[in-house]
C-alpha cells in the first residue's frame, strides 16, 4: 500500500511514531486547526475530521470488525469495517484506503464516497467524546483478510438480518448506528435491494 505524503510525515526516521494530530473543522467541514488525537476526544470534545468505511463481499454481507482489547477508545466493541482520522492535509479517501490496509491487510476493490455525517457521541465506558465530521465510504472487498491483531480483535461478514441480531446481543461502538444509517442510501445502491440494507 503506498504511503501518502501526509502519512509519511507521521513516522520518524527511527520508526517511532510522532504524536498523532487530527484536523479540526467547523460545522461545514472547513479546516480550522489541529489538535492531538487524545486531546480532541476528551470531554467535551473538539470537532474533527474522521472517516468510516463499509465494505461488502460479493454476497452483499457487511464486514464488521471487533476492536482490539488494547485500544484506548472503545476497546472490544463491534463496529463498521474501518474508521479513523485523516492526518492534517490528507484527503479522507486516501486516509480511508490507507487505514483499511493497515488494520485489515486488504485494499478495497471498489471504494466510493457516500456523503458525510456530523455527530456528538460520548462514550460512557472511557469518558471520551466523538465530536466528528465523518466522511463515509462504501465498497467491496475480495481479498483474504490479514487483520493486525493490535487493531482488530475479530472480524465477521454479516447479512442485514444477522447484523440486527448481533447488534441486539453484543456491544457496538457509540457511533456505529449513526454512520450506518447515514451511509444506507449508498449501501443500497452498491448491494442492490435484495441484500436488505
Whole-prediction pTM value? Answer: 0.89
132 is catalytic: yes
Residue 49 near residue 135, CB atoms below 8 Å = yes
Residue-averaged pLDDT of the chain: 91
pLDDT band at 16 (very low <50, low <70, confident <90, very high): very low
Q: What is the pLDDT of residue 94?
A: 97
Residue 143 has pLDDT above 80, yes or no: yes
Is residue 27 part of the annotated active site? The answer reads no
The answer to whether residue 6 scores a pLDDT higher than 60 is no
- Of 60, 193, 171, nearest to 123 by C-alpha is 171
Q: Could you read off the pLDDT of 88-110 as tens digits, one per residue?
A: 999 999 999 999 999 999 999 89
Catalytic entry in 83, 90, 103, 130: 83
Please state the three-class secondary structure of 105-140 as a single string: CCCCCEEEEEEEEEEEEECCCCCEEEEEEEEEEEEE
In Å, how far from its chain's centre is CA 3? 18
pLDDT digit string (tens) for 40-86? 999 999 999 999 999 999 999 999 999 999 887 788 999 999 999 99
- State residue 17's pLDDT score: 55
Give the model's pLDDT for residue 8: 47
The owner of cell 478495497 is: 108
Cell (9 digits) for 127 = 469518558
User: Position of cell 487493531?
Assistant: 151
Alpha carbon distance 95, 83 (integer Å): 10
**Active-site choice (23, 103, 130, 132):** 132
Amino acid at each position: 500500500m503506498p504511503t501518502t505524503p501526509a502519512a509519511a510525515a507521521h513516522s520518524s526516521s527511527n520508526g517511532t511514531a510522532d504524536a498523532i494530530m487530527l484536523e479540526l473543522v467547523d460545522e461545514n467541514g472547513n479546516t480550522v486547526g489541529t489538535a492531538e488525537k487524545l486531546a480532541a476526544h476528551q470531554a467535551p470534545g473538539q470537532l474533527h475530521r474522521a472517516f468510516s468505511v463499509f465494505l461488502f463481499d460479493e454476497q452483499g454481507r457487511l464486514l464488521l470488525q471487533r476492536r482490539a482489547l488494547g485500544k484506548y477508545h472503545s476497546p472490544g466493541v463491534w463496529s463498521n469495517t474501518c474508521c479513523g482520522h485523516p492526518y492534517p492535509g490528507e484527503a479522507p479517501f486516501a486516509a480511508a484506503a490507507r487505514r483499511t490496509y493497515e488494520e485489515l491487510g486488504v485494499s478495497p476493490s471498489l471504494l466510493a464516497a457516500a456523503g458525510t455525517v456530523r455527530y456528538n457521541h460520548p462514550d460512557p465506558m472511557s469518558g471520551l467524546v466523538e465530536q466528528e465530521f465523518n466522511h463515509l465510504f462504501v465498497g467491496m472487498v475480495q481479498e483474504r483478510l490479514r487483520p493486525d491483531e493490535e487493531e482488530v480483535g475479530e472480524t465477521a461478514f454479516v447479512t442485514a438480518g444477522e447484523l440486527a441480531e448481533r447488534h441486539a446481543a453484543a456491544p457496538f461502538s457509540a457511533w456505529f448506528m449513526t454512520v450506518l444509517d447515514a451511509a444506507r442510501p449508498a449501501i443500497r445502491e452498491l448491494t442492490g435491494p435484495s441484500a436488505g440494507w
